[in-house]
């Protein structure tokens, strides 16, 4: 990231707890000790969410095909350190009868995979960092992945139903014509 963008992002991140507290509770003057409690709590929540967002971004990068070496370089650490810190954690087993599909790398392969599974009558029911979960049905399905949620009116008009949500990605489904 260019230094001027990093500086701007750091400034925005540093301002977030104070801006949130002022929006929720009114002007922060720093004149009273009691004003610092919610500010510290807001900073803790922002830090927790920042750590969780970093982990989700790393998972998304891995899913898109970034190597551990590339991720380590972006984070200023070794490949091994990145892998140890952000490597696969424990996940819940898929429910009985669920068809688990692990996409290849890149968004294109995931889109192709969802089309193939949908044509085979498999309905998308969940998604996480490394897999898509389907259930077999008696009808064909169309699936769609977007970055961010689609407009509810657009979803209604297109017949799209929410299927899953993981990080920035929203998955939708509809019966195939």
Domains in the chain: boundaries: 3-86, 99-175
Query: Is it the case that residue 100 has pLDDT exceeding 90?
Result: no
Backbone dihedral angles phi then psi of residue 88, each to the nearest 5 degrees: -55, 130
Q: Answer whether residue 105 shows pLDDT above 50.
A: no
pLDDT tens-digit series, residues 160-172: 999 999 888 999 9
Rounded Cα gap, residues 140 and 122, in angstroms? 7
Determine which helix (DSSP H) or strand (DSSP E) holds 51, and give its type and residue range. Answer: helix 36-63
- Confidence (pTM): 0.61
Compute and round to an integer the Cα radius of gyration of the chain.
Answer: 21
Distance CA 38, CA 19 (A): 12
Reported as a pLDDT band with limits 50, 70 and 90, residue 31 is confident
């Amino acid at each position: 990231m260019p230094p001027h963008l990093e500086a701007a992002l750091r400034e925005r991140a540093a301002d977030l707890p104070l801006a949130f507290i002022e929006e929720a509770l009114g002007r922060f003057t720093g004149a009273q000790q009691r004003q610092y409690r919610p500010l510290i709590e807001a900073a803790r929540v922002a830090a927790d969410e920042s750590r969780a967002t970093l982990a989700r971004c790393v998972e998304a990068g891995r899913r898109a095909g970034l190597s551990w070496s590339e991720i380590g370089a972006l984070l200023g650490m070794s490949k091994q350190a990145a892998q140890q810190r952000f490597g696969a954690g424990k996940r819940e087993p898929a429910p009985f009868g669920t068809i688990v599909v692990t996409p290849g790398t890149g968004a294109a392969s995931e889109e192709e995979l969802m089309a193939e599974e949908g044509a085979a009558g498999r309905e998308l029911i969940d998604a996480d960092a490394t897999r898509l979960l389907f259930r077999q049905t008696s009808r064909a399905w169309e699936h769609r992945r977007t970055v961010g949620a689609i407009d509810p009116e657009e979803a209604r008009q297109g017949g799209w139903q929410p299927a899953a949500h993981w990080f920035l990605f929203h998955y939708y489904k509809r019966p195939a014509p």
